[in-house]
Amino acid sequence: MSKPVRVRFAPSPTGPLHMGGVRTALYNYLFAKKNNGTFIIRIEDTDQTRFVPGAQDYIMESMKWCGIMPTEGPGIGGDFGPYVQSERKELYKPFAEQLVKDEKAYYAFDSATELENVREQAKQMGMPNWQYNSITRSSLRNSLTLPADEVQRLLDSNEPYVIRMKMPRNRDVRLNDIIRGWVVVNTNNLDDKVLFKSDGMPTYHLANVVDDYLMKISHVIRGEEWLPSAPLHYLLYEAFGWDCPEFAHLPLLLRPDGNGKLSKRDGDRLGFPVFPIDWHTSEGELYSGYREKGYHPAAFINMLAFLGWNPGTTQEIFSLEQLTEAFSLDRVSKAGAKFDADKTKWFQQHYLRTTPDIELAMELQGLTSKELSVEKLIEICRLMKERATFVSDILTEGNYLLEQPKVYDAEIISKKWKSETTEYMKDWLIEIEKLQEFTAHNIETAFKDFLASKSVGIGAVLLPFRLLVTGVGMGPGMFEIASFLGKEEVIGRMKSGLSSIESLVK
Ligand code: GLU
């Protein structure tokens, strides 16, 4: 029987969660749900120097907004907690010491200054990339070179030390990544990474492997930037005598032009957010988020799912449940995924159009200070949503449904308001006044009769009519707008529009 699927999203609280991080969380979530597994969040905060207050709450809130909540994690519970590494601090050291005992790791006493000097000397000898590794370790101050009693003395006298991995010499490490296939790295290219730091904290590598083991993680699904660390992690599992989880390294997210990684700074600079929700820095800067820009979380998630994965069909619109059904790691590509801001808007437009009018109306009620009945708001949504991207656009784009226009599109007036137009509009106004039932259908029939009686084409009259009533040259069906506004309002608007425009064209 295969092991139960347990996957984790393991962000470090070093700042707001980038959209790439949300995608990692999403793929973990989808993979867990698809395989009746468990999705866990673990906060990796062993690097105290990079800790940013508020980042953990931001991560949790972002995941909640996206609807991809884990079933184990801080504040959620689970049998494998605590789920914040700094709260597990005490448990890592015995693991590091076990490796020393088994001669897979060693104590290193070299001070920062000593290492700096060695590095400097190497640089002067033409070796700019000096490393603490299987060759250089033999001439440094560690438990492999110092006599045992000296090592004991240093430990007893609380001399600062780190524990380093004893990287084997000249071995090909072979690991089979679900997305990338076989990855082979020779250990001569790897250094003796620090596993345990002099401040008493494990490094990311040790804590990550120990926790994945203790939390019974079956698959490690994470960003490509962690691929270089995977051979070390593989060797750590081997050194402990543990089964290695399966690895899947997700492709990078690239800038829209394909030129390099999508970074934190790109977002607002290129005109779209790269964060799920707004982030306010302690310096008072704002990094904008999709939530505050008005995106529906389902649109955001749908867009993210396609950054690196495709279903193998032409279907593009997926709910979270449908994604869960369709998702598989086999269909995640190796190649970097280009972010496309227009496509993101397209997903959002789709979600807006398919959201029931009553739901949009309720949202709109919170956005306007005007007293409008739900029926009116539903009608406004019905008229405007085809032309909107965000819920708030319905009110801004459709402002003429709420109030009389204050300005009239000057370009349309200069191009389309002919000498006879005013006369046509005055005559059309007389027809409108005669109408009994002011329905879209009745207005349209009367309008067609009017065109016939004047022997003019629709273009010469409909656009001026729209301009008088709405102030602009485009919008939803004009007869529907007129019927929505009501006869009195339309007549009033036409009269004041005519007097404004007459003074303009004189
Ligand atoms: N803490 C790492 C990060 O910040 C996690 C890498 C992993 O998933 O192993 O992305």
Q: pLDDT tens digits for 12-70?
A: 999 999 999 999 999 999 999 999 999 999 999 998 888 899 999 999 999 999 999 99
- Check residue 506 and give its pLDDT: 63
Atom of ligand 1 nearest to the CA of 208: 9
- Check pocket membership of 11 for ligand 1, CB cut-off 6 A: yes
Report angle CA 389, 390, 396 to the nearest 5 degrees.
95
Q: Does one domain contain both 419 and 473?
A: yes
Q: Distance between CA 211 and CA 238 in Å, rounded?
A: 15
**208 in ligand 1 pocket by Cβ < 6 Å?**
yes
Report the run of H or E that residue 269 belongs to, with start and end: helix 266-270
In this structure, how many other beta carbons lie within 10 angstroms of the beta carbon of residue 504? 12
Q: Using the mean position of ligand 1's atoms as its centre, give its distance from the Cα of residue 288 in Å.
A: 23
pLDDT digits (tens, 9 = 90+) for 68-87: 999 999 999 999 999 999 99
Whole-number Å distance, alpha carbon 31 to ligand 1 midpoint, is 17
Do 114 and 163 belong together in one domain?
Answer: yes
Give yes or no: residues 194 and 218 share one domain: no
| 316: pLDDT strictly greater than 60 | yes
Rounded CA separation 249/233 (Å): 13
Q: What's the 124 CA to ligand 1 centre distance in angstroms?
A: 35
CA 455 – ligand 1 centroid, Å: 73
Tell me if residue 264 is catalytic: yes
Measured between alpha carbons, how far is 504 from 506 in angstroms, rounded to an integer? 6
Report whether residue 134 contacts ligand 1, using a CB cutoff of 6 Å: no
Distance 21 CA to ligand 1 centre (A): 9
226 lines ligand 1 (CB under 6 A): yes
Cβ 46 under 6 angstroms from ligand 1: no
pLDDT value for 122:
95
| Main-chain phi, psi angles of 29, to 5 degrees | -60, -50
Domain assignment present for residue 107? The answer is yes
Domain annotation covers residue 291: no
Cβ burial, residue 99 (10 Å; 0-12/13-18/19+) = buried
Lowest average pLDDT, out of 131-145, 159-173, 223-237, 266-280, goes to 266-280
Which of 23, 27, 28, 204 should be mutated for ligand 1, with most atoms under 8 A from CB?
A: 204
Query: CATH number for the domain including 29?
Result: 3.40.50.620
461-481 confidence digits (pLDDT tens)? 999 999 999 999 999 999 999
Residues 444 and 474 in one domain: yes
In this structure, what DSSP letter does residue 252 have? Answer: P
Instruction: Looking at the structure, tell me whether residues 160 and 140 fall in a common domain.
Output: yes
Among 269, 270, 262, 267, CA closest to 278: 267
Residue at a domain's end among 203, 227, 260: 203
**Torsion of the alpha carbons at 232, 238, 243 and 248, rounded to the nearest 10:** 20
Atom nearest to 11 CA in ligand 1: 4
Evaluate if residue 263 carries a pLDDT over 90: no
> What digits encode the pLDDT tens for the residues 164-215?
999 999 999 999 999 999 999 999 999 999 999 999 999 999 999 999 999 9
Tell me if 15 CB under 6 Å of ligand 1. Answer: no
Beta-carbon contacts of residue 110 (< 8 Å; ≥ 6 apart): 118, 132, 140, 141, 142
- Those residues whose C-beta lies under 8 Å from the C-beta of residue 70, and which sit 6 or more positions away, are 9, 29, 39, 40, 41, 63, 76
**Tokens, residue 6:** 């347990």
Tokens 């430990």 -> residue:
155
CA atoms within 13 A on the CB side of 252: 13
DSSP secondary structure, 107-141, as one string: EE---HHHHHHHHHHHHHTT-TT----TTGGGGSS
Question: What is the atom index within ligand 1 of the atom nearest the CA of 14?
Answer: 4
189: CATH: 3.90.800.10
Q: Which atom of ligand 1 is nearest to the CA of 9?
A: 8
What is the enclosing helix (H) or strand (E) of 39? strand 38-41
CATH code for the domain of 475: 1.10.10.350
Which atom of ligand 1 is found nearest the CA of 44? 1
| Of 427, 435, 420, 415, residue with least CA distance to 486 | 435
Radius of gyration of the chain (CA): 33
Q: What mean pLDDT comes out for the span 402-409?
A: 94
88 vs 99: CA distance, rounded Å: 19
Single residue among 216, 237, 252 that ends a domain in this structure: 252
In a domain, 54, yes or no: yes
Give yes or no for a cis peptide into 82 (omega within 30° of 0). Answer: yes
> Is 60 exceeded by the pLDDT of residue 161?
yes
Q: Which of 34, 264, 345, 454 is catalytic?
A: 264
Residues above pLDDT 70, as percent of the chain: 99
Tell me the pLDDT of the chain averaged across its residues. Answer: 95
Q: Which two tokens stand for residue 202?
A: 């494990």
Q: Do residues 185 and 40 share a domain?
A: no
The reply to whether 169 and 222 lie within a common domain is no
Ligand 1 pocket, 203 CB below 6 A? no
pLDDT in tens, 422-431: 999 999 999 9
222 pocket-lining for ligand 1 (C-beta < 6 Å): yes
Give yes or no for residue 21 CB within 6 A of ligand 1.
no
* Ligand 1 lined by 12 (C-beta under 6 Å): yes
What is the distance in A from the centroid of ligand 1 to the CA of 472?
52
Task: Tell me how far apart the alpha carbons of residues 263 and 255 are, in angstroms, rounded to a whole number.
Answer: 8
Give the residue carrying structure tokens 């990094």: 287
Co-location of 138 and 163 in the same domain:
yes
Total domains in the chain come to 3
286 lies in a domain?
A: no
Taking the centre of ligand 1 as the mean of its atom positions, its distance from the CA of residue 12, in whole angstroms, is: 7
Residue 388 lies in a domain: no
pLDDT(268) > 80 = no
Integer angstrom CA distances of residue 276 from 9, 18, 19, 322: 16, 7, 6, 21
Confidence at residue 1, expressed as pLDDT on a 0 to 100 scale: 57
In a domain, 391, yes or no: no
Is residue 232 situated within a structural domain? yes
Q: Note whether 130 and 223 are same-domain residues.
A: no
pLDDT-derived band at 388, boundaries 50, 70, 90: very high
Q: Based on the domain organization, do 214 and 193 belong to the same domain?
A: no
Ligand 1 atom nearest to 24, measured from its CA: 8
Tokens of residue 294, six digits: 């008005």
Ligand 1 centroid – CA 217 distance (Å): 14
- Give the number of other Cβ atoms within 10 Å of residue 178's Cβ: 17
Question: Do the Cβ atoms of 209 and 235 come closer than 8 Å?
Answer: no
Q: Which helix (H) or strand (E) holds 453?
A: helix 440-454
**Which residues are CB-neighbours of 446 under 8 A, at least 6 positions away?**
431, 432, 434, 435
Give the C-alpha separation, 346 to 352, whole Å: 10
Q: Are residues 25 and 94 in the same domain?
A: no
Average pLDDT value for residue range 397-419: 93
Q: Residue 271 carries which side chain, given as an amino acid letter?
A: G
Q: Is residue 275 part of a domain?
A: no
**Residues 220 and 239 grouped into a single domain:** yes
Give the amino acid at 14: T
Helix (H, G, I), strand (E, B) or coil at 196: strand
Q: Comparing C-alpha atoms, which of 103, 330, 91 is closest to residue 213? A: 91
Q: Distance between CA atoms of 422 and 499, rounded to whole angstroms?
A: 10
Last residue in a domain, options 146, 169, 203: 203
Give residue 479's domain range: 404-506
Mean pLDDT of 483-493: 97
Residue nearest atom 5 of ligand 1, based on CA coordinates: 10
Closest ligand 1 atom to residue 8 Cα is: 8
pLDDT at residue 258 greater than cutoff 90: no
Q: What is the pLDDT of residue 265?
A: 80
Give the mutation target among 85, 209, 226, 237 for probing the ligand 1 site: most ligand atoms within 8 A of CB.
226
Residue 30: count other Cβ atoms within 10 Å of its Cβ.
25
